[in-house]
A and B are shown apart, each in its own frame.
Chain A
Amino acid sequence: MKWKVRVTVRLKEGLNDPEGRVIGNALRSLGYTVENLRVPKYFEFELESDKPEEEVEGMCKKLLANPLIHDYEYSIEPVS
């Protein structure tokens, strides 16, 4: 069966995000009162699998996220 997978990987709370800080500063310089801007990574792909949850969990742990510094979440939907 084929699935549409969307994975978001974000830095754990408390870890600084230099890219987020720079983008936040730029938005503030445009006059927006932005705070705590963070830049997560977002992946989307199609997956042919009988056990998509197990495989996506494995992908996150083995490559897409570094469990030491990242949290991740995902959604899996059947492709119609």
Chain B
Amino acid sequence: MVKFAVVVFPGTNCDFETEGAIRKAGARAERVWYKRSLKDFDGVVLPGGFSYADYLRAGAIAARQEIMEEVNEFARDGKPVLGICNGFQILTEAGLLPGALRPNKVPRFLCRWVYLKVTDNETPFTSLYEPGEVIKMPIAHAEGNYYIGDPSEVRVVFQYSDESGDITEVANPNGSVLNIAAVANEKGNVLGTMPHPERASDRFLGSEDGLRVFKSMVGWARR
């Protein structure tokens, strides 16, 4: 059975839910303290939270820890690397994904459900979605305003939309360029998402739409 590491930094707080969602998707998952090694894992997930209390810039300090060299090797070797919320911020700060996550345009912490359009279903994390499908997941962030000088440099995977899939300014919660909510690297094996798929991985949570992120990832890692 494939096995995923869920990396825990000081201040990470979504590790248990993320571990649970990976298990529900049919793989083994283990929470791994950032001082430990990632060898013997088939993929790595950087979960949400507030690593290092968001000091300096969200994700900036975690991105400079030694374990990120191993995460870098996963990315280079084509293994799945998924960053959720603070994990996405860490991946951009570490240079594993282009762009930066700036403070929300509306200057406050946003915690609510959003609709997302699946713009790219050809990544290892989105293969179980239909192209253009509209899904529902929660966001919970203060720094989720995705900025990139040239958006053609990145694979846009999810975009904030309205319920019918239209990419509108009203549907953009945080000021992100092109309503971008999730991006992947060129190969597709590194994904960063501000919405939390693990918080939408059971109908009792209000949505099961996020579970397919983990099921897609697990299915792809099994090949």
**Nearest opposing residue in chain B for A16, CB measure:** B105
B80 within 8 A of A: no
Please tell me if the beta carbons of A66 and B93 are within 8 angstroms of each other in the complex: yes
Residues of A within 8 A of B106 (CB): 18
Q: Range of interface residues on chain B?
A: 10 to 19
Residues of A within 8 A of B64 (CB): 62-63
Residues of A within 8 A of B104 (CB): 18
For chain A residues 47-80, which have a beta carbon within 8 Å of chain B? 62-64, 66, 68-69
Residues of A within 8 A of B147 (CB): 15, 68-69
**Nearest opposing residue in chain B for A64, CB measure:** B56
**Nearest opposing residue in chain A for B107, CB measure:** A18
Binary interface profile of B, 88-104, with partner A (CB < 8 Å = 1, else 0)?
00000100000110111
For chain A residues 1-24, which have a beta carbon within 8 Å of chain B? 15-16, 18-19, 21-22
The docked-state distance in angstroms from the alpha carbon of A66 to that of B148 is: 12
B29 within 8 A of A: no
Residues of B within 8 A of A62 (CB): 64
For chain B residues 58-115, which have a beta carbon within 8 Å of chain A? 60, 64, 93, 99-100, 102-107
**Nearest opposing residue in chain B for A20, CB measure:** B107
| Nearest chain B CB to A42 CB, angstrom units | 13
B197 within 8 A of A: no
**Interface centre among B104, B147, B149, B175, by most A CB within 10 Å?**
B147
| Nearest chain A CB to B80 CB, angstrom units | 25
Residues of A whose CB lies within 8 Å of any CB of B are 15-16, 18-19, 21-22, 41, 62-64, 66, 68-69
Other A-B pairs beyond A16-B105, A21-B107, A66-B100, 20, CB < 8 Å = A18-B103, A18-B104, A18-B107, A19-B103, A19-B107, A22-B107, A41-B56, A62-B64, A63-B56, A63-B60, A63-B64, A66-B57, A66-B60, A66-B93, A68-B100, A68-B147, A68-B148, A69-B100, A69-B102, A69-B147
